[in-house]
Chains A and B, each alone.
Chain A
């Protein structure tokens, strides 16, 4: 069922000549009318959360929302790295031929059970913890959690000490070692600072889905579902309520916003 909703959402966003001003007007109209006319807010705004999903550009984010992701590994093919490529493209990540230090916001990890030989491939990015250890250790407050649960690095105050990289149990963060040029206007990044998955915060603030989720639905297996975990009527909340899902290293008590099915 969710597939049809996702594809509808995507189709509208990808239409050539798509006009955001027109869309925000439509969103506003839809919110006022209380129908699901608004493209882009359909997925995470089916009912009462329509107003939340359709954040106005000048509005502050609210803790009424907790963004999260549910990744169904049953649909995640081990050979597929569309999410990784989409992330690199969206955020302007370019390698320097040094895999040890090149920035990586999302990566595919292969895990195998040595007893049974059963293996899984899972995309791992910043898990956007409720209790993020990277925020605890940051000496300048640059590593912070936004009200809506997205964990970010404020590069204006990051001093590049990399404590957060040590503290993160998911190896989610990268340090920029090189002088960068021609960054994406919506994804500023520079030498001497730490960075990680932003959950495509610029897209979320624009009432769109993260690039990896969109790519996964477009050309991948449609394994990723993005939405508001606080909204009991959202598709993601219904799914995590209906089916068993797991967090990686749940024993650490960090309560990540990214959950996995069929792990």
Chain B
């Protein structure tokens, strides 16, 4: 028993070493002890890029898109913060999307765990507008009408 524990721990360390994405390993292992982040599932079948790529590079995509939009008026939705927040909205008890003030917020769930503070929401809205909730015209059939369920991605 003890040996098995050791070996699984070693395997986890090894995996972390190889992949460099502890979050992925943790999320797949389950989260019974409450020490690991609970990452709310997004809406739709898949993210705009592969999940592992997004984990490592979302900040670069957002930064690039931010300059394109701000300076050149490019409003493509693929990598826009607004679209991220639309798909990854987490619904509170009152059935409205939570803001970043809530630890359940999609961005916060990981950033709290990783101890990386973000400035985005000092200016940007951290949730979709009430009029632009899922089921609205914006993303059409991509959205289901059921609220997001918290759980491993």
Q: Are B123 and A189 in contact (CB under 8 A)?
A: yes
Q: Are A21 and B124 in contact (CB under 8 A)?
A: no
The reply to whether the CB of A20 lies closer than 8 angstroms to some CB of chain B is yes
Q: A57 — which chain B residues lie within 8 A by C-beta?
A: 74-77
The reply to whether the CB of B99 lies closer than 8 angstroms to some CB of chain A is yes
A interface list, Cβ under 8 A from B: 17-21, 55, 57-61, 144, 146-148, 152, 154-156, 179-186, 188-191, 193, 201-202, 205-206
| Chain B nearest CB, measured from A140 CB (Å) | 13
Given contacts A57-B74, A179-B122, A186-B82, 7 further A-B contacts (CB under 8 A): A20-B138, A57-B77, A58-B76, A144-B71, A154-B71, A185-B85, A185-B124
10 pairs, A vs B, C-beta closer than 8 Å: A58-B75, A61-B73, A152-B70, A154-B70, A156-B67, A156-B70, A181-B99, A183-B124, A184-B125, A188-B125
The reply to whether the CB of B134 lies closer than 8 angstroms to some CB of chain A is no
Q: Which residue of A lies closest to B83 (CB)?
A: A185
Q: Are A147 and B82 in contact (CB under 8 A)?
A: no
Assuming the contacts A19-B137, A20-B137, asked whether A147 and B122 have C-beta atoms less than 8 A apart, the reply is: no
Q: Which of B72, B99, B129 contacts A60 (CB 8 A)?
A: B72
A interface, by DSSP: helix, strand, loop or mixed?
loop
Q: Which residue of A lies closest to B125 (CB)?
A: A185
Q: Are B74 and A183 in contact (CB under 8 A)?
A: no
The reply to whether the CB of B128 lies closer than 8 angstroms to some CB of chain A is yes
A184 to B71, CA, bound (A): 19
Q: Which of A61, A144, A154, A190 contacts B122 (CB 8 A)?
A: A190
| Chain A nearest CB, measured from B129 CB (Å) | 6
- Top 6 A-B pairs, shortest CB-CB distance: A190-B123, A61-B73, A58-B76, A188-B123, A60-B72, A185-B125
| Chain A nearest CB, measured from B130 CB (Å) | 10
Chain B contacts with A in 93-116, Cβ cutoff 8 A:
99
The reply to whether the CB of B66 lies closer than 8 angstroms to some CB of chain A is yes
Q: Are A188 and B124 in contact (CB under 8 A)?
A: yes
Q: A147 — which chain B residues lie within 8 A by C-beta?
A: 72-73
